[in-house]
Amino acid sequence: MRVLEKGHMSIITNIEAAKALNARRLSLQATATASERLSSALRINRGADNPSGLAISKGMTAQARGYNTATGNCQDGINLLQTMDGGLAQIHDILIRMRELAVRGANDATLTQSDRNKLQNENNSLKSEITQIADATTYNEKHILTGGAEPGVYSITFCTNRDGNYEIYSMNTDGSNPVNLTNNAAWDLEPSFSPDGSKIAFRSNRNGNYEIYVMNSDGSNQVRLTNNPALDGEPVWSPDGSKIAFSSYSTGGGDIYVMNSDGSNQVRLTNNPAADWNPAWSPDGSKIAFTTSRDGNAEIYVMNSDGSNQVNLTNSPLPDTRPAWSPDGSRIAFESQRTLNGEVFVMNSDGSNQINLTNNPSSDGGPAWSPDGSKISFSTSRVDISEIFIMNPDGSNPVNLSNNPAQDFKSSYGGVISYPYLQVGPDNGADYRIQITLPDARAASIGAAGATVSTAAGARNAITAIDNAIAKVSSYRAEEGTMQKKLELIVNDNSLSGINISASNSRLEDADIASETVDLAREQIKQTTNAEAIIKSDDLSRSVLDLLDEQAKALA
């Protein structure tokens, strides 16, 4: 019914009923919304509830969950570091026992050779145990005390002119997957893996003069270390990776120098009118073998790592060059011209028991030991052009690895290194990840492999070598402890950040239960009054009908 301005009444359009019905519709919609929010405890249940708020809320939810997941990553990292520390603690204990044996073996006054042999047997067993612990310490099947390398899995780097000029390549130990690392128009030669396999030092004339460079093992970040007008080359790493020995002609004749691994503090070790070259560091870091022409032909000498006590090992009328220590320090492989062509020989580290390993009519040379001592790589022309071969340490089973029509030579072994990063934050970017340094705690890598107590002099050197190894393992554990503390702080920061973001998101996404309860009660009351209003509007319509009915009766 509609009441007109002049007092007329209408029954065609019931405005009051329509208004009541619309109010009831709105109230039912508000009731459903309040009920849904109370049921889900969420203020935003669909995009239409708050489109911009939904976008902001979901971004915050992803951020908060990212912080929670990153916190879990940090906890995993802490567990990894604790596992690492447990393995290093065992190695620490073994090194301390080895030092006791070395101190005992240094006693020249009362020990017999039989006593020394027993000491040496235990010493050898302990060295093997160190490497076994390092190889066996894993976290979720990942080796964490081998410098990031899988035990027994190695890479070989070598020189080749297969691209038209000499470049440095790497390949697997079966010869597969050859990769160009330098890719430079100049000549890049004499690659040498760092002990942990993460870097390669090499010689290059890319600046017009042969200098020593270093790069990552994947060929990235190539940096020049030396810078003088004379030739520098043949870089080799100290067992702990902190120094590089090399040959230099900066004083006219060749001499052996040593420098820090960043090129600083270059120190001359030999000072002889004749040429000295081909340096090779002993596994315990106490000695450097090298080639010299001071006796009229090339001979292999050995000296202390500070250049003192230079002694002839080969003492042969024909040239002997390119010494390479076995990983345990007991033997030295070298190249010799004692036959018509070059051959690979091996001798004890004191120069005794010199044996021809290759014994082939072609030219063989440039030996290099695999890190586990199970293989020797060398260059040979037995297939009419220089190739990289490997063989067993007794010379048996020679196998061609490079197998390329170009010249391939001067090889070096290194571990296949991974560079693990821990994701410690919710987003991508360098600020949200940290690199986990995985130490190489195997006996050869910490400088303990060459420790011997079979002689008094060897035992005295072993004391120094083991002290250095203990210091190295101590530094590993200190770094591990520092990293663990850092991760604990990151865990606390992530937890607080996640809580704060969740609190902000709650104000957007979570329903205000008290407010929604009040809204629900209000709308339910409105629905009751709406129903009464609709009934009243119907009563008005019926009153008009009653009036019409009375008028009809009166007219009758």
412 and 432 assigned to the same domain: no
Write out the H or E segment, with its range, that includes residue 539. helix 513-555
Say which amino acid occupies 385. Answer: I
Residue that is last in its domain, among 393, 417, 441: 417
518 lies in a domain? Answer: no
In the predicted structure, residue 257 carries a pLDDT above the cut 90: yes
48 lies in a domain? Answer: no
CATH label of the domain that carries residue 110: 1.20.1330.10
pLDDT of 44 reads 61
Identify the CA nearest to 368 among candidates 342, 339, 398, 335: 335
500 lies in a domain? Answer: yes
Instruction: From residue 47, give the alpha-carbon distance in Å to each of 28, 42, 52, 54, 382.
Output: 20, 12, 8, 6, 76
pLDDT category at 74 given cuts 50, 70, 90 is: very high
391 and 497 assigned to the same domain: no
406 lies in a domain? Answer: yes
pLDDT of 515 reads 67
pLDDT of 398 reads 94
User: Residue 390: which domain range?
Assistant: 149-417
Domain count across the chain: 3
Q: From CA 392, how far away is CA 231, in angstroms rounded?
A: 35
82 and 141 assigned to the same domain: yes
Token pair of 69 as six digits: 């997941």
pLDDT of 91 reads 96
Higher-pLDDT residue of 229 and 263 is 263
Say which amino acid occupies 448. Answer: A
246 and 391 assigned to the same domain: yes
296 and 375 assigned to the same domain: yes
530 lies in a domain? Answer: yes
Entry pTM? 0.64
Q: Taking CA 280 as the corner, what is the angle to CA 278 and CA 283, rounded to the nearest 5 degrees?
A: 175
237 and 205 assigned to the same domain: yes
CATH label of the domain that carries residue 254: 2.120.10.30
In the predicted structure, residue 517 carries a pLDDT above the cut 80: no
Residue that is last in its domain, among 381, 397, 417: 417
49 lies in a domain? Answer: no
235 and 342 assigned to the same domain: yes
342 and 357 assigned to the same domain: yes
477 and 332 assigned to the same domain: no
Furthest-apart CA pair in the chain: how many Å? Answer: 155
208 and 96 assigned to the same domain: no
137 and 157 assigned to the same domain: no
3-state secondary structure 436-460: CCCCECCCCCCCCCCCCCCCHHHHH
CB 157 within 8 A of CB 411: yes
510 lies in a domain? Answer: no
Residue that is last in its domain, among 372, 389, 417: 417
Say which amino acid occupies 362. Answer: S
Higher-pLDDT residue of 24 and 307 is 307
Residue pLDDT, tens place only, 258-305: 999 999 999 999 998 889 999 999 987 889 999 999 988 999 999 999
Higher-pLDDT residue of 513 and 245 is 245
Higher-pLDDT residue of 153 and 102 is 102
67 and 174 assigned to the same domain: no
512 lies in a domain? Answer: no
* Across 309-324, average pLDDT: 94
